[in-house]
A = this chain, B = another copy of it.
Amino acid sequence: MSRPRVAIVVTGSELVRGERTDLNGPFFAQEALRLGLQPSRITIVGDDPADLETALREGMDRDVCLVSGGLGPTHDDRTIELVARVSGRSLEVDEELEREIEAVSRRFAERMKRDYADFSSGVRKQATLPAGALSLGIAGTAPGVVLDMGSCVVVVLPGPPRELQELWPRALASPPLQAVLARTKRPSRRVARLYGVSESLVAKSLADAGGDGDGVEVTICARDFEIHVDLVVEPGVEARADELEAAFLEPIGDFLFGRDERSIEHLVLDACRARGLTLGAAESCTGGLVSKRLTDVAGSSDVFRGSVVAYANETKQGLLGVPAGLLEQHGAVSAEVAESLAHGAREHLGVDVAISVTGVAGPGGGTPEKPVGLVYLHAVGPMGEIPFRIELPGGRDVIRSRAAVAALHLLRRLLS
């Protein structure tokens, strides 16, 4: 069975100039793959109309063409105009869409104390669609659009990744895209999430188990310092997939922490919630990143009560009760201070479970005894406590991100 082919066209001059990394191409590609479609090319172009037109013309040669960007109110946002030209459609104002965008723009004009008249031509432009196109409504002020050309279904979504991802489910639910999906069999997907193991060891384990193929496609991907394994299984070969999966995961089972898409912060919050426990943190080198990740999750407030970002020693002492002598004797980056921070967080935040992180994020501040990348963590709760020490490679961003991930995984270990 050959899968419908997908071309992805991303427009944005900052993307083609390499000033920002494109997130929409990979998002579309992963979605296509998940749905049983075949992503075959990603083209990134700037605001040169000829470049965009060529990319669209080639893209619309496939079964599905997913387009992002170029939907703004200004004249150099030409995606809709060029989709219309390539598909041979005229342009028409979608009255309902215009009202939607107008409402948002009027509120914005009010907030900015500007005259709405400054916005009205931009609004009209943004509400103008190729004849026969389907509006998906708006996220921000830009609309999502689906156009069924018969040979190709074109989906156009706004460039800001969050807006694109907000509108994508509506595109998926649209009849033209549903019709394409009906022509393919959606493979089933199984996931395994591992932490604390290298990508190459996971790859070796797969090879030792016989490798993928024959309708079972395995991808191993290091992401956010975890190893994410996806098995994409064609309908009918489930038994082979079961066998491969069992043989493959057996030697690395100790590192397995998840069999679904839930992120580690979700797993930690769910584990607390299930046990009726509240959660707090004391962060030094991660500077709020652990708390930020936990509170990214909607509904986290029933579990997560708060944290202290204790960057300065005075804050560690004043708000978390870390003894000055302990800081003096062992230094802020030490197992002793990590322990004291965690206990202090538990007490001063009044929470059941607390995690602490203290380390040298760099680039400055390293010493031969305490190099950049050295991080101490400590998790404590009614079930006990776990100290943890790691030396992380990489630059400041990587060290901070990895330390935050390590903190979340330490909480999971404590809770399981």
A contact set with B: CB distance below 8 Å? 13-23, 25-33, 39-46, 48, 51, 54-55, 58, 72-75, 104, 107-108, 111-112, 114, 118-119, 122, 139-140, 160, 162, 166, 196-201, 203-204, 207, 219-223, 278, 280-281, 283, 286-292, 294-296, 298-301, 304-312, 314-315, 318-319, 348-350, 361-364, 390-391, 393-398, 400
Kindly report how many copies of this chain are found in the complex they form together. 2
Complex: how many Å from CA A223 to CA B287?
23
Complex: how many Å from CA A194 to CA B105?
19
Q: Are B395 and A20 neighbours in the complex by a CB distance under 8 Å? A: no
Residues on the B chain within 8 Å of A395, using CB: 162, 166
Complex: how many Å from CA A43 to CA B204?
29
- Which residue of chain B has the shortest Cβ distance to A46 in the bound complex? B40
Q: Are A219 and B19 neighbours in the complex by a CB distance under 8 Å? A: yes
Q: Are B298 and A14 neighbours in the complex by a CB distance under 8 Å? A: no
Q: Could you tell me the distance in whole angstroms from the C-beta of A265 to the nearest C-beta in chain B?
A: 11
Q: Are A393 and B203 neighbours in the complex by a CB distance under 8 Å? A: no
Q: Could you tell me the distance in whole angstroms from the C-beta of A82 to the nearest C-beta in chain B?
A: 14
Tell me if A's interface is mostly helix, strand, loop or mixed: mixed
- Given the known interface contacts A311-B305, A350-B314, the answer about A39 and B17 at a Cβ–Cβ threshold of 8 Å is yes
Extra A-B contacts (12), CB below 8 Å, given A119-B198, A288-B290:
A18-B29, A18-B31, A41-B45, A107-B393, A118-B204, A281-B309, A286-B292, A287-B296, A289-B292, A306-B308, A306-B309, A306-B312
Q: Are A51 and B40 neighbours in the complex by a CB distance under 8 Å? A: yes
Residues on the B chain within 8 Å of A54, using CB: 58
Q: Are B16 and A27 neighbours in the complex by a CB distance under 8 Å? A: no
A/B interface sample: 17 pairs, CB < 8 A: A15-B42, A18-B30, A19-B219, A20-B221, A22-B22, A40-B51, A41-B45, A42-B44, A54-B58, A74-B220, A162-B398, A278-B312, A288-B289, A288-B291, A288-B292, A305-B314, A307-B308
